[in-house]
Structure 1
Amino acid sequence: MDKVTPGARDARAAGAQDGAGRGGGGAGPMAALALAMLLAALGTSIANVALPALAQDLHAPFARVQAVVTAYLAALTLSVVVAGWLGDRLGMRRVLAAGLSLFALGTLAAALAPGLAGLVAARAVQGMGAAVMMVLAMALMRQTAGAGAVGRAMGLLGTVSALGTVLGPVLGGALLPLSGWRTLFWLQVPLALLALGMTLGLLPRGRGVPARPGQGLFAGFDRALLPNLAVNLLVAAVMMATLTVGPFYLTGALHLTAPQAGLVMAVGPALSILSGFPSGRLVDRLGPARVLTAGLMLLATGAAALALLPGLAGVAGYVVALALLTPGYQLFQAANNTSALADLPEGRRGTVSGLLALSRNLGLMAGAAGLGAVFALAAGDPVQASAAALTHGLRLTFLTGAGLALIGLALTRPPWHKVRA
């Protein structure tokens, strides 16, 4: 009998896993995973628009009502790595179905919540389910796509994630005046059940890889992934700054109304939807190394443009900068996720997907806190600051963001990291 090395066993396991994915592949499984990712993103953004109505209906101050949003995000962030590890150990299809069930139960509990405390608890349960959905949708999409179409699969997830983020405020704003905040949660229950049915009916069965004695969440972690995770954090921080700094600059310096500022800020998510899938196709055609470099360079250029162009050309300059920044982000996401997940053996894809989600969420928090502090330091109190001060704050914030993107570019170069071609 021929001897089989551990590396060959891993390669055979990965090949068998990919074969199972292709055998059950096609539009159906990809649609099930896309819907799971869409729901996780929708849950992140749909409650924000209801905060004033919740404060009024539940007779609670705004500071307490904000917990409805932060409970979801905190539970999601704290659960992503565990969700991926459980998927690897118990089988990703099985754990994804459990996550969708948890999301549906949390959503139902939110719709029926008698008060603020119950609503916050329900949102935390919803966030734990969303962590499973977000992480395992990515890992299973890699498995379902097979080796030749990983970039397109990652691009599709980027598109539906952006779509869910955009749909949240749009659907919430349309439904809230008609039927109240509970409808925002009732809407998600049948969608979660549909995603659960599609997961059970369309995704191939798979078995997990049992943990060896003493093997915890980070056992066997490949340090070569650290640059992928670090750059993911830096880029997420830059993108979050557009959401935290943008409203103050657009209304305070460019004197737009709130609805006008919202329309300008919607340009970014709209471009994310349009550029996600094409970015994935470029990754499959050119390889993740080239596209990762191009994405980070475009993102750095867009951040520098956002620092300089609005002061010169007003709203038009702001939109042009977003038109550079956002496609650069989607190119980066498709290439970075493909690079991190492409050659992983069975038993590691879920955990690495969880680490990617964790680094992204930590980057969002770092962007809101860190780059928000840079803006406030340069502009003073953003509510009271003059147009000149706000312009100075925007300039310093996004020149810093451009610097972070360039640091990310350096981290993807040897000797720090060799991106898979």
Structure 2
Amino acid sequence: MSNSRLQFWVLYLTRFAGGFGFITLVTLLPQYIEVLDPSAVSVLGLTVGAGIVIGLFTTGFTLAQTVAVVPLAWAGDRYDKRLVLLGLLAVGTVVYAGFALVESPGGFIAVRAMQGVVVTGAGLMSLSLVGQIADAGTRANHIGKANASRFAASILGSLSAGVLYDAYGFTPIFAVISVLLAATTVGVWLLLDDDETRIRGFPFSDLALNRRILTLTSFRAQYAVAVTLVRTWVPIYAGVSIARGGLGYTNAAVAVSLLIVAEKLTNMLFQPQTGKISDRTGRALFVFAGGTAYGLVALAVPLSPAVGALLDLPATFPVVGDLSQAFLPLLALNGLLGIADSFREPASMALFADEGTDDGGVASSFGIRELVWRPGSVAAPLLGGTLMTDVGMAWVFYVGGGFAVLGGLTFLAVLWRYHGARALVEW
């Protein structure tokens, strides 16, 4: 077996371990809220309400991710990405063990923030190394495989975390994650070659003005709003009451799990192949087609009850019981959302890797990609909540789909204007 293949495999394992740890915490957040019982606290004489404390369970993670992007990406380009990745994995091993020991909301928020640093840094370094090691003609294919590993972990973690918690509690779950990260650390140390690239200065300043990256940003900034709205609100749509605009499924937990798995499963299965095809036929075309298709499918989500009634689909299912005629159309649409995104994601990542590799600073290129996503991903939940309560649940999907379609059209226009009509199939 070639050394390069072993390096790819250990990087795929890194993506799997990071994804498994992340989704496990997302799945167990309700249990932590119940066990830690957050209440109002006083900070420097100011009272912080219980709702804000609960919000910090997620916001602390997100803020730590945002703060960590630039210094970690800079360190990866300036020094050895392999050593930076090893350090992050070692810290992650300790951090996940710490989740089993926290006894207060403040302690949980602190450990969750450290998890944000580890998740962001390990993701940046592993993707940067995949993009750097892969040949230009196979880059999207290898990135698609790395992403498929993360989706596999998300599926396994989301299905198993709740079951394991009910049977064994927190400690064994985080012991498994820590052992997985420790094994990954050893694999990276033994199998991954030293990274000999060294980029002096501050690559962010040059790459931020890179014309191709600016073109991709014209799409990605809008697409972040679309994906955050749609991915967040499909489960909400299924689970909340009909009076609040949802479908009001009786067995909401099982139905939501199946919906989430459908999107991740199709994304996982298709990404390696769509990445391989985009390497041959043009990555920009896949970004445009995948992003626009995502928007069109999102627009159809509120039509799922009408489709179910028109086709006279069943409303009762084995194991899960009574749901509604909208369940199968919604399940199919969420699967289609995963397929559409599988066309976009590896091609987009490969384009960022291309620019970072060519101009110096592949970690910084992925860092810019991460930062561009942040404003939309932070603002979208606030927008979605407002639309849901003031206008109607369907408008969450209309606005989300509209952002994706508009992002695709903006990308096409900028591509045509500044790079020529052939850029769509030549990039």
**2:220 corresponding residue in structure 1:** 232
Contact 2:203 2:361 in 1 (8 A): no
**1:399 corresponding residue in structure 2:** 398
Alignment partner of 1:301 out of 287, 290, 296: 296
**Alignment of 1:30 onto 2:25:** no
Shift of 1:152: 0.7
CA distance in 2, matches of 1:198, 1:360: 31
Normalising by structure 2, what TM-score? 0.82
Q: Give the 3 Å change call, closer, same or farther, for CA 48–201 of structure 1 in structure 2.
A: same
**1:327 corresponding residue in structure 2:** 339
- The residue correspondences of 1:100-115 to structure 2 (distance < 5 A) are 100-115=89-104
Contact 2:296 2:405 in 1 (8 A): no
Alignment partner of 1:267 out of 254, 262, 265: 262
CA distance in 1, matches of 2:38, 2:146: 37
Secondary structure of the equivalent of 1:113?
coil
Contact 2:290 2:341 in 1 (8 A): yes
**2:386 corresponding residue in structure 1:** 373
Aligned-partner residue type, residue 403 of structure 1: G
Aligned-partner residue type, residue 364 of structure 1: S
Structure 2 gaps, min length 5: 40-49, 309-325
**Alignment of 1:360 onto 2:348:** no
Alignment partner of 1:178 out of 154, 167, 174: 167
Deviations 1:166-192 (A, max 9, x none): 333322202111221233322211111
Contact 2:207 2:359 in 1 (8 A): no
**2:417 corresponding residue in structure 1:** 415
Q: Give the 3 Å change call, closer, same or farther, for CA 107–57 of structure 1 in structure 2.
A: same
**1:55 corresponding residue in structure 2:** 33
Secondary structure of the equivalent of 2:377?
helix
**2:233 corresponding residue in structure 1:** 245
CA distance in 2, matches of 1:262, 1:334: 25
Bigger shift: residues 326-335 or 265-274: 265-274
Aligned-partner residue type, residue 337 of structure 1: M
**1:10 corresponding residue in structure 2:** none
Cα-Cα RMSD: 2.5
**1:132 corresponding residue in structure 2:** 121
Contact 2:92 2:118 in 1 (8 A): yes
**Alignment of 1:342 onto 2:354:** yes
Structure 1 gaps, min length 5: 1-21, 380-392
Shift of 1:302: 0.9
Aligned-partner residue type, residue 218 of structure 1: S
**Alignment of 1:74 onto 2:59:** no
**2:283 corresponding residue in structure 1:** 288
**Alignment of 1:256 onto 2:234:** no
Contact 1:89 1:209 in 2 (8 A): yes
Shift of 1:400: 1.9
Q: Give the 3 Å change call, closer, same or farther, for CA 55–338 of structure 1 in structure 2.
A: closer
Contact 1:103 1:127 in 2 (8 A): no
Normalising by structure 1, what TM-score? 0.83
Aligned-partner residue type, residue 175 of structure 1: L
Shift of 1:350: 0.5
Shift of 1:77: 2.7
Equivalenced residues, count: 383
CA distance in 1, matches of 2:399, 2:34: 39
CA distance in 2, matches of 1:216, 1:293: 27
